[in-house]
Amino acid sequence: MFKKVLIANRGEIAVRIIRACKEWGIETVAVHSDVDSDAMHVRLADESVCIGSHQPQNSYLNISSIMSAVDLTGAEAIHPGYGFLSENAKFADVVNKHGIKFVGPSSDLISKMGDKIEAKKIAKKYGLPIIEGSKGGVKTFSEAKSLCKEIGYPVLIKAAGGGGGKGMKVVNEEKNLEELFLLAKSEAKKYFGNDELYIEKYFENPRHIEVQIMSGKNKTVHLGERDCSVQRRHQKLIEETPSPVLTDSQRKDLLEKTVRMVEQIGYEGAGTVEFIYENGKFYFLEMNTRVQVEHPVTEVQTGIDIVKEQLWIAFTGDTALKQSDISPRGHSIECRINAENPALDFQPSPGIITVCHQPSGFRTRVDGSIFQGCKITPFYDSLIAKVICKGRNRSEAIQRTLRSLDEFVLEGITTTIDLHKKILSHKKFVNSDFDTNWLSKEKFF
């Protein structure tokens, strides 16, 4: 196994990776910006290197600074986590050309599957159903206008080179198209350095379902699906597994087709294939070529350590998992705890945590990087922790999650904890009668 791994990330995912490395007996290197010098991931790592100022482009997105930290510490591999440079093909290429192992797929596959237009072509080639839309990038308004007439409104405009809701606009009628097209183009350029857009049919009441895969040179296996339909502004808040809306035959079909596609493209590592599900039908959405924020809910459900397996695949090229050994049981739920004020349109809530008591107990897990006295800065994503609970069935999982959220005490900042309690207690959630647009329609505050 690797002797030393550098974690090119911060926050809870950096802590998660450090824990997995320690269980493999691997020494760890944390990189950090100037404002993160006292962060939990820095405290837990064996070594740490400051790589720049708090602006992400000067630190966590600074490839040369990260590679300098590798040279300085003698790390043999880099784990990118999620976000930042995790799906940056150039970064993966630079890492590998320096003789360092990138914990993830090849730069070629990162590039292909990270481009939503190219990814749709690949998915279609290998038998996955795709959403009706543009076959390539849409560069001009006149192209967009013609295509939208052909598809029919409503339509969804997306940035070809990114995600997370940036550069994404729903257009319900033609009179709004030009304004939203130009706005999406501007956002795509700002956030991803690429203003290429694509347009597809918009689903008004969809579920968002994704499949977790682990793949090596020897074989590809799945770890089941997750239902990620509780979202705000196209960003997930609650994930659960298994999906409460799928039949056994639908699940079998989805999982088998996904494994087949991933196997055929020669993928190595952990990956997630995402789908829109509406009226009993699936449509390929995108593939994330990295570990997901919501990976713990699958770990709790299956008993498989996804991050440790990522490291094993990176080191050996093969996965040690067998499909026959993976047998999910019960039901699991994950809640993302963000430093945000839901009553003020999810406005970020930076500050110092003055009181921190995290829940525990039977089948309750908390992934985070927070502690009493730690500073939540305004410079990075507002996710600070995740609460993951498992039950014998969905009802028990909901009750256990509510009990755990009641135990979670954070003072000094505003969080989404109370919102999660309201969602999990809501009749529509209990009955699984919701879609990705539910939170935007429901008044919780």
Burial (Cβ within 10 Å: 0-12, 13-18, ≥19) of residue 99: exposed
Q: What percent of the chain has pLDDT over 70?
A: 100
- The span from the first CA to the last CA of the chain, in angstroms, equals 50
Contact (CB, 8 A) for 48 and 39: no
Whether 388 has a pLDDT exceeding 90, the answer reads yes
Please state which of the ranges 11-15, 147-151, 207-211, 271-275 shows the lowest mean pLDDT.
147-151
pLDDT of residue 164: 66
- Catalytic: which of 10, 207, 226, 290? 290
- Tell me the residue type at 415: T
pLDDT of residue 304: 97
CATH architecture group of domain 207-441? 2-Layer Sandwich (3.30)
Q: Which residue has the tokens 């004020």?
A: 341
Give the pLDDT mean for 92-118.
Answer: 95
How many angstroms separate the CA atoms of 20 and 41, rounded?
13
Pick the closest to residue 42 from 78, 1, 14, 19 (CA basis).
Answer: 14
Give the pLDDT mean for 40-62.
Answer: 97
How many angstroms separate the CA atoms of 431 and 433, rounded?
5
pLDDT in tens, 163-214: 667 789 999 999 999 999 999 999 988 888 888 898 999 998 999 999 999 9
How many angstroms separate the CA atoms of 227 and 207, rounded?
7
Q: 132-201 in CATH: which number?
A: 3.30.1490.20
Strand 269-278 versus strand 281-288 pairing type: antiparallel
pLDDT in tens, 255-289: 999 999 999 999 999 999 999 999 999 999 999 99
Residue 187: which residues within 8 A CB-CB, separation 6 or more? Answer: 159, 166, 167
- The 3-state DSSP class for residue 336 equals strand
Task: Tell the CATH topology of 4-103.
Answer: Rossmann fold (3.40.50)
Whether 162 has a pLDDT exceeding 80, the answer reads no
Domain boundaries along the sequence of the chain: 4-103, 132-201, 207-441
Pick the closest to residue 382 from 160, 139, 129, 83 (CA basis).
Answer: 83
Residue 83: which residues within 8 A CB-CB, separation 6 or more? Answer: 9, 13, 381
Q: Active site includes 290?
A: yes
φ, ψ for residue 47, nearest 5 deg: -140, 160
